[in-house]
Structures are given as structure tokens and as C-alpha cells.
A and B are shown apart, each in its own frame.
Chain A
Amino acid sequence: ELKVEQNPLFLSMQEGKNYTIYCNYSTTSDRLYWYRQDPGKSLESLFVLLSNGAVKQEGRLMASLDTKARLSTLHITAAVHDLSATYFCAVDLYGGGTSYGKLTFGQGTILTVHP
């Protein structure tokens, strides 16, 4: 059974600071997603990481994937208030067969950026 664990679950940051959210998963997979959810809203796709060593960047967010360590990171650089949201990682058990795109989500990290 695939398990996906994020840490920290709660993150309170000051504007301008850097921090990293970690996503560990228990079974081999080469397809990992990061989503953002604003309070009371839907989920928005941020990054898709499809291979070992993949790195994607968008603005102040950078995501990476290490399939050997079964670890993905979401790094936040010089945080701003607009980044306050809940961030989810999700893993697709593709693994060479067909998983029908089923995703297993982490618990989510609630990020709050303070002035």
C-alpha cells in the first residue's frame, strides 16, 4: 500500500524567509504532483515531476524529485503573503504499468506567511 507523508503539516513563515516542504512516499514511483489549495477553494496544479532528478520552478516555488530516496521537496524562496495556502503532494503509482492515474495524496502542509 502506497503511503505519502508530508512534513511539516503546519508552517508559519515570515515574509522574505526560505523554507522547504518535504514529501516522502513508500513505493517506487516516477510521477509526482504538487497542488495548491486556497481556503475553501479547489486544487490547482503547480508541478508535475516525471523522472528522477526532475526540477521545476515557477516564481518563488521550486520542486524536485529524487526517486531513489522516494522524496520530493517544495522549496519556497523569499516567501510572500500570497503564498499562504495548503500544499499537497500526490503520487501516481504508474511504475511501468497502468495505474489509471489514481493519485495518493499527502496530508497537506498548511503554509501561513506573516508580514
Chain B
Amino acid sequence: NAGVTQTPKFRVLKTGQSMTLLCAQDMNHEYMYWYRQDPGMGLRLIHYSVGEGTTAKGEVPDGYNVSRLKKQNFLLGLESAAPSQTSVYFCASSRLAGALLAKNIQYFGAGTRLSVL
């Protein structure tokens, strides 16, 4: 009954450090997404993936890279963290998108709270 699991839950980085956030889903979903949530701005899409081995840029991709080597995992990397990347990061997955009348509900993980000092 895990759904979407994100690790770690909290992290503090120094400017210039790198890290990888892991998202794992056990629902056999094709589509996966990374969002960041900042106060007063809702959620903004960073990168997304429509299947194993494919990734694409979202609204705010600069400073981030992603990989989807396995269908169930979607990794978000920060190569050189900056204070502007202090945020809460959410991963989501959905079963299918694009199909007529498909509900395409996205299921979210619990979030990773990242502070960059």
C-alpha cells in the first residue's frame, strides 16, 4: 500500500553541493513528474517522464536533471545547489495521460523539504 515514496524527507545542503532525490512508485504508472512548491506559487513542474528511459523539461527545469532508468523510479538531481532551490519537492505519478476521458489523477509522494544554505 506504499503508492509514491520519496527519499529523503528532509535535507540541508550547502551552496554548491550536489544531491539526488529518489521517487519510487509501486502502481505500475507510466507517467511520473517532479514539482517544486514555494509559498504563494502553488506547484510548478520541473521535469516529467512519459515512460522508462524518457524525460522532458517542465516549466522550471534549470539547475535540475532527471533520469528514469526503471519504470518505477524517477530521480531528480541537483548538480550544484543554490539557495534559490530551497523548496519542497513533490514527486507524482499517473497511470495514463492523453487518452480521451482518462481521469489521469496524479498521486503524490509525501515531499522532500530541502534547504540550501
Contacts and interface: CB of A to CB of B under 8 A. Distances in A.
Query: Do the two chains belong together in a single complex?
Result: yes
A50 B107 CA distance: 18
A100 B42 contact: no
Given A41-B110, A101-B94, A33 B105 contact: yes
Contact of B104 (A4, A9, A101, A104): A101
B105 A100 contact: no
A92 B96 CA distance: 13
B31 interface: yes
A102 B31 CA distance: 10
A28 interface: no
Contacts of A31: 104
A22 B25 CA distance: 32
Given A42-B111, A88-B42, A101 B97 contact: yes
Nearest to A51: B101
Interface stretch (B11-19, B43-51, B63-71): B43-51
A70 B27 CA distance: 33
Given A88-B42, A100-B56, A45 B106 contact: yes
